[in-house]
């Protein structure tokens, strides 16, 4: 989101227009006490939050009551507020803001891989027959199809074999990439740099993902990246990420 304070108005527009039942938010950049609960309550949403001053932060919005089941990733607290899970009815719903890593030469890249190892371990210990969703900003392109220029960028951050191998291990733990389940060959992106006219040239990356268990994939009706809300709406400036919408029966 690049900060909830800066994106609150356009987020409210999106909620009013799209009317989702459950929403995962990432990169709040505010503490729990600063979260604008009333702004969402006016639209019919409850919120659970795992915030952090100036950095990171995740939240879950839901129309139905949500019961907190996991706040943070065990052993990875030093990397900040990056994971939140709740049970909403029969659905286990988690939102994640995975570490960026900055570059393959940066020490933060090794920390990113360790964080993913911890995420895979956590997911692998969950019941496989549950209806569960894991969504968020994964800060990696799962395959060459998810990058605007794989030939140029392969081996650089978001495009490394190490990141992609971990993503495949995540899927092997019992999850499916729901956009790929719905549209296996679609070339679509969810993030575009603000600079250089990247959005208008469609020089983007698909790094915002919705993963689901087999029970969720069986109910999947559609998945789409909401490009319209990467554009200005009613004069409000968007995030550099577009929302991803999954519809279940």
CA distances from 9 to 6, 208, 233 (A): 8, 21, 9
Residue 128: its pLDDT value, please?
85
Angle between helices 107-124 and 161-172 (to 10 degrees): 10
CB 132 within 8 A of CB 92: yes
Please say if 137 is a catalytic residue: yes
pLDDT at res. 53 = 96
- Which member of 17, 32, 121, 137 is catalytic? 137
If we measure between CA atoms, which residue out of 37, 55, 57 comes closest to residue 45? 37
For the chain, list the domains and their CATH numbers. 4-248 (3.60.10.10)
Q: What pLDDT is attached to residue 150?
A: 98
- Integer-rounded Cα Rg, in Å, for the chain is 17
> Distance between CA 200 and CA 37 in Å, rounded?
34
Degrees, nearest 5: CA angle 239-87-117: 65
Based on the residue annotation, tell me whether 194 is a catalytic residue of this protein.
no
Helix (H, G, I), strand (E, B) or coil at 16: helix
Q: Are the C-beta atoms of 190 and 241 separated by less than 8 Å?
A: yes
Per-residue pLDDT of the chain (249 residues; tens, 9 = 90+): 889 999 999 999 999 999 999 999 999 999 999 999 999 999 999 999 999 999 999 999 999 999 999 999 999 999 999 999 999 999 999 999 999 999 999 999 999 999 999 999 999 999 988 999 999 999 999 999 999 999 999 999 999 999 999 999 999 999 999 999 999 999 999 999 999 999 999 999 999 999 999 999 999 999 999 999 999 999 999 999 999 999 999
Q: What is the pLDDT of residue 1?
A: 85
Longest dimension (CA), the chain: 47
Which of 17, 32, 97, 130 does the annotation list as catalytic? 97
């Amino acid at each position: 989101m690049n900060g909830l304070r800066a994106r609150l108005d356009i987020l409210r527009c999106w909620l009013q227009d799209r009317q989702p039942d459950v929403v995962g938010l990432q990169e709040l950049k505010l503490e729990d006490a600063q979260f604008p609960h009333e702004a969402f309550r006016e639209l019919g949403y409850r919120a659970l939050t795992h915030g952090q001053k100036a950095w990171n932060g995740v939240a879950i919005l839901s129309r139905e009551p949500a019961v907190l089941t996991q706040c943070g990733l065990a052993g990875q607290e030093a990397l900040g507020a990056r994971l939140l899970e709740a049970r909403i009815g029969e659905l286990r719903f988690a939102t994640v803001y995975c570490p960026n890593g900055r570059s393959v030469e940066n020490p933060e890249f090794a920390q990113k891989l360790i964080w993913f190892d911890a995420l895979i371990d956590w997911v692998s210990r969950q019941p496989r027959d549950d209806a569960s969703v894991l969504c968020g900003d994964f800060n990696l392109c799962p395959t060459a199809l998810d990058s605007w220029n794989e030939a140029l960028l392969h081996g650089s951050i978001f495009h490394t074999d190490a990141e992609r191998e971990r993503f495949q291990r995540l899927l092997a733990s019992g999850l499916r990439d729901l956009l790929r389940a719905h549209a296996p060959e679609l070339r679509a992106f969810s993030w575009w740099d603000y600079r250089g006219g990247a959005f208008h040239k469609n020089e983007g990356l698909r790094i915002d993902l919705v993963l689901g268990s087999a029970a969720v994939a069986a109910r999947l009706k559609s998945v789409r990246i909401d490009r319209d809300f990467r554009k200005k709406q009613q004069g409000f400036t968007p995030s550099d990420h577009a929302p991803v919408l999954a519809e279940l029966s």
